[in-house]
């Protein structure tokens, strides 16, 4: 299992599994680089759900959605992954370098920042505290690169559940920022804070 990596973020060829971890609570978690063609049916079903309205892609046709993720795949600074729990696809995750994104124009980017977006498509077997456990796994994935010092999020301020989930997962809220398509709530999770909060 090999992965192509740039200076900060994990990346790889479409369909490649680039990170695997065994969570005592969640089971085997695998991060696979999104294949915009092979995974299209699944992600189109996810993004067009009413509950995915804050993802902002619900109006796209299948072809348009494929083209969006083919474009993402072509960028050295942005990456998309399909995350599986014991083989079941559960999350669409995007990672990016904020200085190469509109977000970087509205806050002071630090050299070790890594931005993320994630869309929950499924949960698998019911598990109390699922969101907290899964947030920890995402942080483990991002912080597997030693160049990453801080995870940055900017959920839509209207998405109160996402903001509350971020705080519960250890993110410290920053200012609200105006982005092209929304007002975002900045949140930050440093490596130090994440490591201190993990079970011994």
Which tens digit of pLDDT belongs to each residue from 125-157?
A: 999 999 999 999 999 999 999 999 999 999 999
Residue linked to tokens 């999020």:
153
> pLDDT value at position 199?
65
**Does the pLDDT at position 34 exceed 50?**
yes
Lowest model confidence (mean pLDDT) among 2-11, 149-158, 159-168: 2-11
What pLDDT does 197 receive?
85
Inter-residue contact 102 to 184 (CB < 8 Å): no
Q: What is the pTM of this model?
A: 0.93
Residue-wise pLDDT for 61-84, tens only, equals 999 999 999 999 999 999 999 999
Identify the pLDDT of residue 198: 80
């Amino acid at each position: 299992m090999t992965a192509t990596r740039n200076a900060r973020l994990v990346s790889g060829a479409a369909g490649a599994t680039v990170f695997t971890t065994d969570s005592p609570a969640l089971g085997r978690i695998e991060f696979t680089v999104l294949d915009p063609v092979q995974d299209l049916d699944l992600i189109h079903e996810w993004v067009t759900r009413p509950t995915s309205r804050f993802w902002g892609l619900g109006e796209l046709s299948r072809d348009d959605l494929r083209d969006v993720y083919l474009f993402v795949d072509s960028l050295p600074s942005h990456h998309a992954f399909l995350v599986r729990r014991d083989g079941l696809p559960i999350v669409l995750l995007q990672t990016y370098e904020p200085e190469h994104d509109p977000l970087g124009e509205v806050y002071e980017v630090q050299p070790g920042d890594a931005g993320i977006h994630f869309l929950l498509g499924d949960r698998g077997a019911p598990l109390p505290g699922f969101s907290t456990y899964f947030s920890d796994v995402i942080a483990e994935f991002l912080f597997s690169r030693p160049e990453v010092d801080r995870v940055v999020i900017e959920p839509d301020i209207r998405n109160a559940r996402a903001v509350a989930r971020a705080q519960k997962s250890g993110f410290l809220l920053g200012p609200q920022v105006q982005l092209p398509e929304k007002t975002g709530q900045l949140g930050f999770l440093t490596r130090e804070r994440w490591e201190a909060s993990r079970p011994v």
